[in-house]
Amino acid sequence: MKLDIISPEKTVYKGEAEFIALPGVQGAFTILERHAPIISALSKGNVVYRQGEKEVSLAIDSGFVEAKNNIVTVCIE
């Protein structure tokens, strides 16, 4: 699926991801391919995503995520 991670200053990541684990305000959750559409607020924690064999972890303070039609956009602070 396509993943865009953006902050107010820059685009942090734009590319493909196999999964995205996120720190939701009501608990952590994971988005996989063909996930149902979702918009959720994010709390302080780590966004973790996998690109091929590489797993990347990114610390955030807050943000939100939108997933629809295998396109995931994560706005972070």
Cα dihedral value 62, 38, 7, 76, nearest 10:
10
Domain span at residue 26 reads 2-76
How many domains does the chain fold into?
1
pTM of the predicted protein model: 0.93
Per-residue pLDDT of the chain (77 residues; tens, 9 = 90+): 999 999 999 999 999 999 999 999 999 999 999 999 999 999 999 999 998 899 999 999 999 999 999 999 999 99
pLDDT at 52: 87
pLDDT at 23: 98
Strands 20-24 and 11-16: unpaired
**Rounded to an integer, what is the distance from CA 49 to the centroid of its chain?**
7
pLDDT at 49: 98
Give the domain CATH number at 72.
Answer: 2.60.15.10
pLDDT at 47: 98
